[in-house]
Amino acid sequence: MRVRDWMTENIITLSENDSAIKLMQLFKEHQIRRIPIVKNGKLVGIVTDRDIKSITSPKAFSMDMYEFYYIISNLKVKDIMTANPIYVHPDDDIEKATILMLENKISGLPVVDENEKLIGIITQTDILKAFVSISGAFLESYKVMLLIHSLEDFNKLLSIFNESKIPISSLHNFICWKEEDCLNEHCKRPVIIKFSSKNEKFVEDLKTKLYSNFEVIFFKKS
């Protein structure tokens, strides 16, 4: 999946010379967590809700209120923003965006084109929606988890689905991964399959064959 498929395109932006007051008003009015900063359409910085909290912290209020207001009213976005923020491109894999967020402990990334022009933003929420979509969590289906040992097992698994007359169009997802403590190519690998079928006979036939040929962890309707 690509970033462009899940990013938000219509986003609020500001320029470097906009006031901090305007910035704070936008955060409050739109209940957002980040605002990209642009110059001639190109990304030059970003301000997050964390940055806003840092300039309105209780420590800042220890000064005289008039003095505090004077300082805030004269602040510009460029005084608060993080310059040259981390970003992704629209054709990057969504996994890349996920890793960047995890490694840098951030919850959103600007999306820019090849000319560094801002075209959107992708957040943790967008990524969660993407992975929920992959999982087929909202679809009524059957869910099977089993273990395979080799490529031959994998081919056998596909063959059993074919023999059981479960069409490829009924498969919602097919996920196989390698456990972290698997040190060789003969480890058991978990496989999760989600599929739908209105024919109970086909499902029972599939279930019987899977239990006969594999170590099945569970087979249930979700």
Return d(Cα 205, Cα 200) in angstroms, integer. 9
CB proximity list for 92: less than 8 A, separation 6 or greater = 2, 3
Fold that domain 142-221 belongs to in CATH: Alpha-Beta Plaits (3.30.70)
Return d(Cα 130, Cα 2) in angstroms, integer. 10
% of the chain surpassing 70 pLDDT? 92
Find, among 222, 166, 156, 163, the residue nearest to 191 by Cα.
156
Q: Where exactly are the structural domains of the chain?
A: 3-130, 142-221
Residue 217 CA neighbour count, 13 Å, CB half: 12
Asked if residue 183 has pLDDT above 80, the reply is no
Average pLDDT value over all residues in the chain? 88
- DSSP-derived secondary structure for 49-95: HHHHHHHSSTTGGGS-HHHHHHHHHH-BHHHHSEES---B-TTSBHH
Asked if residue 81 has pLDDT above 70, the reply is yes
Quick: pLDDT tens for 38-66.
999 999 999 998 888 887 765 555 666 67
Return d(Cα 127, Cα 6) in angstroms, integer. 7
DSSP 10: S
Predicted pLDDT of residue 168 = 78
CB proximity list for 9: less than 8 A, separation 6 or greater = 119, 120
Predicted pLDDT of residue 150 = 84
CB 2 within 8 A of CB 90: yes
Q: Is the dihedral of CA 48, 52, 55, 59 positive or negative?
A: negative
Asked if residue 33 has pLDDT above 60, the reply is yes
- CATH code of 3-130, in short, is 3.10.580.10
The residue type of 68 is F
% of the chain surpassing 90 pLDDT? 57
Predicted pLDDT of residue 163 = 87
Return d(Cα 153, Cα 26) in angstroms, integer. 56
Asked if residue 185 has pLDDT above 70, the reply is no
